[in-house]
Structure 1
């Protein structure tokens, strides 16, 4: 089979249906064998280059897609993220070198939104502390708090943020939104209001982050902004490590300036010097910590696999992937 249709997948849990689809489109599918407990973001560049030698398509997770890597892979035509963040992709290099980069838009919205709501419920009802009591032979009840009719601040209302809004309405929540632009269609649905960030932080019982990581949003939650929040408030971050200064969050939780946090992403994912901070956060009884697994359900991964594969096939066919999936197209 020609390497012009070779597709390398550097992700786990790539389903048979999607593999069969790629093969039906004339693609040779190679699933990389990732080290135990490691993702493609942990794999040395030399190994990535060996895996991707001769590949035309790459379905990638969290590996850094750099100019140097792309230059060393002249046959690579499309980099398709099984996910929606692309801060680790050198978008300028994609354009300059005539490649295409895509994301799996729409594949994991519901899955991540479910996780955000689940974290709110687990924190408010103190599930972790209650289970610890039972495990120690005690039936002492940790007194929790409702999500019902609470004020919830949603920072960012893209696809995932909008999915969170739908779920919050079932709890009769008062919804505050902070986003760069007002979505008038969203406003017409009622039961929510746009506010500035200080107002959102000051009034919310739960704050959930769904913003991209940019120079403007980096450390949007840090000591100064945490001090605006209620001591009874909970912070949820299922978006990106780097939106929160984890050292400041740890100090706020230890000093009881916040009631708790639900965290699926951490600074330590991109900065190893934060590894001890992550471990300390995860050890706190009022923290729900997950290993960047917000999109990782069977159904969610099947959907993102499918979208990522369709984007690859479109590019290899010389066609256009869905517009909402295109991050950069250097063919134009």
Structure 2
């Protein structure tokens, strides 16, 4: 039996055998961190992460903050692979300056999140939460829901997931309106409109934009005031895209019909925790715990992509270019 040449630490749950076996076949020892129930790697302190990763060459990570100080404490680390696509918690400049590589798992969970988005649309408009709560209380009265069929759906952000949502909604014969803050989307992609037009005319608005300084708080009190009272807001992207306290006010004052939320501001800002708790309690809000990407199939795909990226770097190769968010090896004169 050969000795592993590299050590890879995984700080995510549900790391499947296929991805683990792939790494082992490429000469890696695989160590899956034991996290406490309900704990994620984003909850770990920098000291805890350093202890876990001190002798690791590769790291498959979820939501931990990748900072310059953490990287400085991990001189052996060569590659950090996010099992996901958002990377607002990764200091890419620090990764490059440290001569390391950071990757994301492009294409692994797009279908899962697109499915989840449509599920939330249907759950809100058909008032499934009210139906469930009523039956649990032995109340068989029927809440009057609404259709998704032939409604106007505004899609903010036209990346892979936004396109997947539109593809799924074609069967509902919806009228799509698209606003994309990302350069590169073209009119050929669909019916592009300005943000205000989309907010004013849509029956459903679904967010699929990246979180950055330009999109942070994109849906605030002013944006919500432009929306129809009968509209439904869906967010399966990033919590910071929405000012949750403004959303809470709009829902309580019946200036918005409902919301389907898989992400919350409180995930990155604990000061918003009480707002999240209040949103969860509203009868016209369907919530899930940032679970959009978490299907067996979706996680298996992202696990394998992350493992492939790690193996490539540890063997001196380049991962797929569309997965690379930082590559500091050139800073050290490497090809």
Normalization by structure 1: what TM-score?
A: 0.97
Normalization by structure 2: what TM-score?
A: 0.96
Provide closer, same or farther for how the CA distance between residues 234 and 324 of structure 1 changes in structure 2, counting only shifts above 3 A.
same
Contact 1:3 1:55 in 2 (8 A): no
What do residues 142-199 of structure 1 show as CA deviations (whole Å, max 9, x unaligned)?
Answer: 1111111000000001111111111011110100110133534853xxxx40001000
Paired with 2:71 and 2:82, the residues of 1 have a C-alpha distance of 15
Q: Which runs of 5+ in 2 are unaligned?
A: 331-335
What do residues 193-224 of structure 1 show as CA deviations (whole Å, max 9, x unaligned)?
Answer: 00010000000000000011110000000100
Aligned twin of 2:234: 236
Paired with 1:139 and 1:133, the residues of 2 have a C-alpha distance of 6
Paired with 2:100 and 2:32, the residues of 1 have a C-alpha distance of 22
Contact 1:23 1:29 in 2 (8 A): yes
Aligned twin of 2:90: 89
Query: 194, 198, 209: which is aligned to 1:211?
Result: 209
SS of residue in 2 equivalent to 1:114? helix
Paired with 1:23 and 1:3, the residues of 2 have a C-alpha distance of 8
Query: 201, 225, 230: which is aligned to 1:227?
Result: 225
- Give the deviation of 1:35 after TM superposition: 1.4
Contact 1:10 1:31 in 2 (8 A): yes
Query: 284, 287, 293: which is aligned to 1:286?
Result: 284
What do residues 228-282 of structure 1 show as CA deviations (whole Å, max 9, x unaligned)?
Answer: 0000000000000110000000010000000011111111111111111101000
- Give the deviation of 1:126 after TM superposition: 0.4
SS of residue in 2 equivalent to 1:117? helix
| 2:22 is the counterpart of 1:21 | yes
How do 1:1-332 residues align onto structure 2 when only pairs under 5 Å count?
Answer: 5-180=6-181, 181=183, 183-184=185-186, 186-187=188-189, 192-332=190-330
Paired with 1:309 and 1:186, the residues of 2 have a C-alpha distance of 35
- Give the deviation of 1:138 after TM superposition: 1.6
Paired with 1:302 and 1:269, the residues of 2 have a C-alpha distance of 24
Paired with 1:182 and 1:82, the residues of 2 have a C-alpha distance of 25
Paired with 2:33 and 2:208, the residues of 1 have a C-alpha distance of 30
Contact 1:125 1:144 in 2 (8 A): yes
135-144 vs 176-185, which deviates more? Answer: 176-185
What is the aligned length? 328
Paired with 1:137 and 1:264, the residues of 2 have a C-alpha distance of 28
Paired with 2:121 and 2:246, the residues of 1 have a C-alpha distance of 21
